[in-house]
Structure 1
Amino acid sequence: MRFLFVAPRYHTNQVEIVKGLKDREHEVEFWVKYTEKIENYSELTPKKIDKSNIFCLFLREKSYIPSCKEVYLNLKRYKPEVVIVRDINLFSFVVSIISKFFVNSKVILYTQDPTLIQKNESYLQKLKRRIKRIIGATISKVAYSPVEVANVDNIHNKNNLTNSNIYFVPFVVKELENTMRKYFKNNKINILIIGKYRPYKNLDLILKSLKYVNELDRIKITILGQVSNLSEKSYFERLQKQIEIGKYEDIVKLEANVEHSEISKIYNSNDIFILTSKKEIASISILEAMSYGLCVLSTNINGTASYLQNSDLIFESENEIDLANKLNHLINNKKEIINYGREASIIAKTSTNFESYYNRLNEILVKEFNFPLLNKEERY
């Protein structure tokens, strides 16, 4: 079966999905608006679709409408049977309309909106959701998301939640071999944070929390991120200055633009992973960290925090004292770090494997389109 994915860029959270489909002998293409410095092209190289020359004359430089001619010619060449488009935007709209009418593709909208919403939403929230649903219907009648709730605090009282008419389909992370990992390299509690050097990632939260952490000599912190423009470079330099002012040079290390091939080694060298973002729609990095057996701490405003299945590992967004309290507890209870890490590894294997994704996707295609997923042998 021929799959086409359409998204602003080829994000890490799609790599294992592409791999899983190709392993089952499906064909896959991935079309994007742009590429970024740190991307994983081990399974495929995404195809960049040019802007429309006509519309560019009337739009601002940063605006993007794909070339309808290029989209049409590539659709006629590839003839995708299933098209999965990322979110509501002009790129998704153009590809979905042309693929439905000229290639007869089955189009699914991939969103990161929550599949469960609060029953007591305000009128304005309901109105926004209704408008978004109407606009989304022009792209596809069907949507799926890997996010259950936007704020994990809400999941503990499911009586207050209702279905948003979006299918839940989990993220997929790489399944690792069953090896007993070693913890506490160099007799330290090693802490890892991964995120672009941008303000919304709130990487300085960990630096603010350190003045409330009791035994700094027992921890080592590594922060990894992308520096690909002046804004990210400025944020990186600001963090470096904060480290110098706080005299944390022996505790905190910043790294930029680390090769993807090195990430596995880095995960295996750390014990705790922290997501510090002010608001994260759906972090894939915490799921990757879980698969490597790290004890994961996440802010409550993160669409994938529900995968943790343990409220003790959730701290309040932008609250450095709450984060410090969690760290102090773990520093004084090192066995819990190992236990949480091993639990996380099991959860990742059972909740974020490709088989779960594939089965859910098949359910959607059968129910909504009467179009089951068939492998190569079943098709011919």
Structure 2
Amino acid sequence: MSLRAADISPLRVHLLPISMHFLYTAPRYHTNQHYPVTALLEAGHQVTFLVLRRGRTETYDALEPVVLGCSPVFDVLRRVASLIPGIAYWDTGGLPPILRFVSEVRARRPSAMVVRDPRSAYGLLAMLVAKLIRAHLILYSQSARNVDPKSSNRALVRMLRRVTHASWFSPMRGDGAGDGPVAYLPFVMPTQVSPEQKQWYAGDCVNLLAIGMFVPRKNHCLFVDAVAELSRRYRVRAKIVGECSTEAHYEELHKVRQQCRRLGLEDNVQVELNVAFADMRRHYSDHDVFVLASRDEPAAVSPLEAMAHCLPVVCSDSNGTSCYIRPGENGFVFRTDDVDDLVSCLDRVVANREVLIEMGRRSHELVGTEHAPSRYVDTVVRMASPSP
């Protein structure tokens, strides 16, 4: 379904910009879209989100997505493709029932379609339909290959933009930011806890927070190793919050708990599973430093959420949104999979409590200046507006 912002009095219509209808297509309604969608609705625009499936930890406070499901025919083809060595079942993408998708789009007549993963089967279908109904086309991707100036993908991106006359943005900043075919539009959200309200050092400890589902690439065991080393010199406690809903997740959870027992950290490292989006605010507020130890993270939104709660952030250099961190100002970026470098970065944050608090203030400030929701609204409205 689509949502419309609150009815506007006719006496005020001339003071407000023309309302647009943005229709998004994506595999699911990820929580990193909650604040952009909320901002568009509050600005008086309409938003529809067409997805293939629901996720476990999504929030629908602003919008209820339309779940299309996967085309049975495509699902069979995908299962066959997954039998080919080197191709996983989910790697082959997804495609909604085509007639239903076309019907949903035509019924809504959007001003613009915002298409996630334009090179996927679903993305290609959405681009075709956008051109057929003459909606403005905005492409959105979270692949480092599209923003890296050294990537061969850049030529493909330029060609695709020329053919489709589309705008294209990413929440990741490439080394050649501003010069490439993909515009930089970071994740956005309002600031949450102000520096004046923030409560620090509960239990007279430095409280570390890590977030991520229980899969090997999230590097929770690396985080535990770092906590063990820091515990030799500081009073620290840690918490890992993550999704655990499959057999593979529980296997990884077992490894993490074994690691904690082996290092004698059962009382220092707490684990919480399947925490709802609305409850995450409490966890951010209760901690002092956020750590994202994962490898090959496409574009994590959790560092920004932590920054909005006045937390310094330490994350790996293979996280696509590591560009949100100003090393030495609001955190540090460490070499992926290097526990010694992670410990060194954390040392520089936790050694001086006054410095830590100042880094938290800087995180809060950066959210307000670089990640304000109005930035997102202004950019996508401009992309969706006819050229003069």
Q: Calculate the TM-score normalised by the size of structure 1.
A: 0.86
Aligned 8 A contact 2:191 2:364 in 1: no
Write the deviation string for residues 271-295 of structure 1: whole angstroms up to 9, x where unpaired: 0000101122211100010010011
Structure 2: how far apart are the matches of 1:361 and 1:98? 19
- Establish whether residue 169 from structure 1 lines up as the match of residue 169 from structure 2: no
1:24 alignment partner in structure 2: 43
Structure 2: how far apart are the matches of 1:59 and 1:286? 34
Aligned 8 A contact 1:272 1:294 in 2: yes
Mean CA deviation greater in 9-18 or 170-179: 170-179
Aligned 8 A contact 1:193 1:273 in 2: yes
Distance 1:79 1:258, change over 3 A: same
The CA deviation at 1:357 is: 1.3
Distance 1:242 1:304, change over 3 A: same
Distance 1:231 1:140, change over 3 A: farther
User: What is the number of residues matched between the two proteins?
Assistant: 353
The CA deviation at 1:328 is: 2.6
Structure 2: how far apart are the matches of 1:26 and 1:203? 40
1:10 alignment partner in structure 2: 29
Structure 2: how far apart are the matches of 1:319 and 1:280? 15
Aligned 8 A contact 1:212 1:321 in 2: no
Give SS of 2:49's match. Answer: strand
Structure 2: how far apart are the matches of 1:177 and 1:187? 20
Give SS of 2:210's match. Answer: strand
Partner AA of 2:42 in structure 1: D
Structure 1: how far apart are the matches of 2:159 and 2:308? 37
Write the deviation string for residues 327-368 of structure 1: whole angstroms up to 9, x where unpaired: 2333321111100001100001111111111222233334xx
Gaps of 5+ in 1: 150-154, 372-380
1:105 alignment partner in structure 2: 135
Aligned 8 A contact 2:335 2:342 in 1: yes
After superposition, where does 1:254-333 map in structure 2 within 5 Å?
Answer: 254-311=271-328, 313-333=332-352
Aligned 8 A contact 1:194 1:223 in 2: yes
Write the deviation string for residues 121-153 of structure 1: whole angstroms up to 9, x where unpaired: 3xxx42x4424554566666321111113xxxx
- Establish whether residue 68 from structure 1 lines up as the match of residue 103 from structure 2: no
Give SS of 2:155's match. Answer: helix
2:9 alignment partner in structure 1: none
Structure 2: how far apart are the matches of 1:264 and 1:177? 9
- Establish whether residue 93 from structure 1 lines up as the match of residue 118 from structure 2: no
Give SS of 1:4's match. Answer: strand
2:16 alignment partner in structure 1: none
Which of 366, 377, 382 pairs up with 1:347? 366
Partner AA of 1:220 in structure 2: R
Partner AA of 1:246 in structure 2: L
Structure 2: how far apart are the matches of 1:36 and 1:263? 16
Gaps of 5+ in 2: 1-19, 81-88
Which of 129, 141, 145 pairs up with 2:170? 145
Distance 1:163 1:189, change over 3 A: same
1:376 alignment partner in structure 2: none
The CA deviation at 1:184 is: 0.2
Aligned 8 A contact 1:197 1:235 in 2: yes
Aligned 8 A contact 2:52 2:95 in 1: no
The CA deviation at 1:221 is: 0.2
Give SS of 1:29's match. Answer: strand
Structure 2: how far apart are the matches of 1:264 and 1:162? 33
Structure 1: how far apart are the matches of 2:154 and 2:52? 26
Distance 1:285 1:83, change over 3 A: same
Structure 1: how far apart are the matches of 2:384 and 2:106? 22
Aligned 8 A contact 1:8 1:33 in 2: yes
Which of 232, 236, 244 pairs up with 1:219? 236
Give SS of 1:3's match. Answer: strand
Structure 1: how far apart are the matches of 2:234 and 2:252? 26
2:11 alignment partner in structure 1: none
Structure 2: how far apart are the matches of 1:136 and 1:197? 37
Structure 1: how far apart are the matches of 2:281 and 2:315? 20
Structure 1: how far apart are the matches of 2:252 and 2:371? 32
RMSD over aligned CA atoms reads 2.2
